Amino acid sequence: MAGDKRLYKSIVDKVLLSIDSGEFPAGGRLPPERELAERYDVSRPTIREAIIALEALERVEVKTGSGIYVLESTTGWNGIDSSISPFELTEARAMIEGEAAALAATMITNEQLAELEIALNEMASPSTAVYENADKKFHQVIANTTGNKMMDSVINNLWYVRDNSPTVHRAYQSICETDGNVRVQEHVEIFEALQKRDDRAARTAMHQHFSRIINKLIVVTEKEQLEAIRRKMTESKERFSLNHLVTAN
Amino acid sequence: MAGDKRLYKSIVDKVLLSIDSGEFPAGGRLPPERELAERYDVSRPTIREAIIALEALERVEVKTGSGIYVLESTTGWNGIDSSISPFELTEARAMIEGEAAALAATMITNEQLAELEIALNEMASPSTAVYENADKKFHQVIANTTGNKMMDSVINNLWYVRDNSPTVHRAYQSICETDGNVRVQEHVEIFEALQKRDDRAARTAMHQHFSRIINKLIVVTEKEQLEAIRRKMTESKERFSLNHLVTAN
DNA sequence: TCAACTACATTGGACTAACCAATATAAAGA
DNA sequence: TCTTTATATTGGTTAGTCCAATGTAGTTGA
């Protein structure tokens, strides 16, 4: 992973790690190339290659004769605004994919319906990996059915955030396990609305689908927060308990 | 532009030009590093730096011991799918910004309404630059008012495509000149719906706004196509006319 | 005849050792 | 004190060399 047989890439990873860990704070300067070369035990050309890659990623800015500066980034390492919450992502998906479904209902062909049906069948799989994949496929076919490449691109972006934003991904993981076949049923309803070419029903079905996800998220988040509080409480208990005094006596 | 005082960047530009011009076709191989070095009259490390930058841009793929391969790219130089038409972009904006407006109507504060009003006033400016900017500002405030960072990010992305996709940008430019103060009026209607906190009215007003843009686009596209046909006709006339024979006699 | 193997040429990967140019810093002068 | 100037630092670029992976052609053996 860190070494695609290309030295400079591993250096990029290492430097990125140092940036994220706060060793090289944003706005600050990286050590000079020669120093980095010594530090990572590679030659200066290799360091330069790494720096150029980082520059292309918009993580650093090179100023000739001055130094290499770490850019502050609202966007995380993968270009995602990591402050986006699972709720925001889901709400956005509801609105956008809802409209996409409505538009798709007016455009969908029988071939596309067949594709959706295949995905639907795969969703019955007990394997979460297969299930997840079928879920994604289902929504992507709908996005594609709009016949609007911009819409398709936007929805793809939503999935990208879903899969790559650490916070969002974690949240989605935890609600994934806890559901039965309710989700399949929801997708069936979307499918049926599309089959009937009923745009309003398709929009509504999609909204309901995401509404349930939001509710699940609320439950899970609540539970996690309670858990966190409980943990802190026990920590405090241990920290502030006078057991060591009591037992010492 | 081609020389930010950084040799490798100018090489990137040159290679990119050669790729786009078809000299280095997609799927094909670039000349070997040593040859490129000679061709552009720079050293091999510099060529390597350029290649790494191109790699980061996902324009080429390097295979050790084999060669540098040009990736086929649906996405253009700026990462935009250049095949997205102005119609698709506008339709997507209508759907997405329509929902954003509806959501914003339920959330908007008086301060945000004031911001919109400022943008509205600036829109009266005769300067297209000021006008354009105010327009963008207006929509951005609404996106921001949703309180949903994902939504905000998506809408920003739509504007990015609008401003940076050559085809889309050109189309929007040509309809920009031809309109009077109709556009201002449309924005006023959106504003009033938001002021009333009427989500449905806000959505509708936004839809109407984009509906008019689509209509304008249709007119302009039609006109351009007619123009193109006319041009070709006159070309053919010149090419195939026998004037040179007639006059020669 | 054809398949597999070997040897060689090609190509990218990386390093060392320099030198140049822009910038920043500290010392000297007005 | 402010400006100027010298010097050190830092990135920019080059040349030359060697290594490793890959591709290819020629040879060998069944």
Q: Is the CB of A5 under 7 A from strand D?
A: yes
Tell which residue, B107, B173, B117, has the closest CA to residue B143.
B107
* Residue closest to A178 by CA, chosen among A213, A141, A149: A213
Give the DSSP letter of residue B63.
E
What is the spatial distance between Cα A170 and Cα B66, in angstroms, rounded to a whole number?
40
- Tokens 């691109």 map to which residue? A153
| Rg over CA atoms, chain B | 25
Closest CA to B221 of B153, B181, B175: B175
pLDDT in tens, chain A (249 residues): 444 578 999 999 899 889 888 889 988 899 999 999 999 999 999 999 999 999 988 889 999 888 999 987 655 444 566 678 999 999 999 999 999 999 999 999 999 999 999 999 998 887 778 888 999 999 999 999 999 999 999 999 999 999 888 788 888 887 766 565 788 899 999 999 999 999 999 999 999 999 999 998 998 888 877 887 887 777 766 656 666 556 554
CA of B60 to C1' of C22 (A): 32
Q: Are B43 and B37 in contact (CB under 8 A)?
A: yes
CB atoms within 10 A of CB B244: 8
- Looking at residue A233, what DSSP letter applies? H
pLDDT in tens, B105-115: 999 999 999 99
Q: Which nucleotides of D are covered by protein (CB under 7 A)?
A: 9-17, 20-23
CB A98 within 8 A of CB A91: no
DSSP for B112-140 reads: HHHHHHHHHHHTT-S-HHHHHHHHHHHHH
Q: Which two tokens stand for residue B120?
A: 């509205």
Using a CB-CB cut-off of 8 Å, the residues of chain A touching B97 are none
**This model's pTM is above 0.75:** no
Q: Which nucleotide is nearest to B68 (CA to C1')?
A: C12
Identify the weakest region by mean pLDDT among A148-152, A242-246, B49-53, B90-94: A242-246
Q: Cβ(A115)–Cβ(B112) under 8 Å?
A: no
Are residues A154 and B153, on separate chains, in Cβ contact within 8 Å? no
Nucleotide nearest to B44 (CA to C1'): D14
Q: Which residue is nearest to nucleotide C11 (CA to C1')?
A: B65
Q: Which residues of B touch A6 (CB under 8 A)?
A: 62
How large a percentage of chain B has pLDDT more than 70?
Answer: 87
CB contact B66 to A (< 8 Å):
no
pLDDT of residue A149: 94
Q: What is the DSSP string of B31-62?
A: PPHHHHHHHHT--HHHHHHHHHHHHHTTSEEE
Residue listed under structure tokens 């330069």: A48
Q: Tell me the H-state helices in B165-198.
A: 166-177, 182-195
Q: Which of A95, A149, A161 sits opposite B81 (nearest CB)?
A: A149
Whole-angstrom Cα distance, residue A248 to residue B17?
80
Return the pLDDT at A78.
47
For A117-164, give the DSSP string. HHHHHHTT-S-HHHHHHHHHHHHHHHHHHTT-HHHHHHHHHHHHHHHH
Q: In this complex, do B8 and A88 lie within 8 Å of one another by their Cβ atoms?
A: no
Q: Quote the CA–CA distance of B196 and B198 in Å, as a whole number.
A: 5
Cα-only R_g, chain A: 25
Neighbours of A4 (CB within 10 A): 11
Looking at residue A74, its pLDDT comes to 53
Measured between alpha carbons, how far is A242 from A231 in angstroms, rounded to an integer? Answer: 19
CA distance between the termini of chain A: 56
Q: How far is CA A16 from CA A24, A192, B177, in A?
A: 9, 47, 46
**Looking at residues B136-145, what average pLDDT do you find?**
96
Which of 6-35 (B) contact A at CB < 8 A?
6, 8
pLDDT at B2 over 70: no
Q: What interhelical angle do B128-145 and B166-177 show, nearest 10?
A: 120
List, for residues A207-226, the tens digit of each pLDDT value. Answer: 999 999 999 899 888 887 78
The answer to whether A150 contacts B88, with C-beta atoms less than 8 Å apart, is yes
Rounded CA–C1' distance between A70 and C29, in angstroms: 38
Q: Residue B195 above 50 pLDDT?
A: yes
Token couple for B88 = 């698709």
Burial B102-119 (b: 16+ CB within 10 A, else e): bbbbeebeeebeebbeeb
Interface probe, candidates A59, A95, A103, A150, chain B, greatest B C-beta count within 10 A:
A150
Q: Smallest CA–CA separation between B156 and chain A, in Å?
A: 11
Report CA(B103)–C1'(D13) in Å, whole number: 55
Q: How far apart are CA A61 and CA A239, in angstroms?
A: 46
What's the confidence (pLDDT) of residue A77?
Answer: 43
Determine the distance between A66 (CA) and C29 (C1') in angstroms. Answer: 27
Q: Do B84 and A157 touch (CB under 8 A)?
A: no
pLDDT tens, B17-48? Answer: 898 888 889 888 899 999 999 999 999 999 99
Closest residue, chain B, to A149 (C-alpha): B84
Q: Look at the block and give the residue holding tokens 């078809």.
A: B22
Higher pLDDT, B216 or A82: B216
Cβ <8 Å between B151 and A52:
no
Residue in A52, A58, A85, A145 to test binding to B, most B beta-carbons within 10 Å? A52
Shortest distance between the Cα of A149 and any Cα of chain B, in A, equals: 6
Rounded to whole angstroms, the Cα distance separating B124 from B133 reads: 12
Report the phi/psi class of residue A67: left, alpha or beta, with left for phi > 0 and alpha for psi in -120 to 50: left
Q: Is the CB of B65 under 7 A from strand D?
A: yes
Q: Which residues numbered 42-71 in chain B sit less than 7 A from strand C, measured from CB?
A: 44-45, 48, 51, 62-68
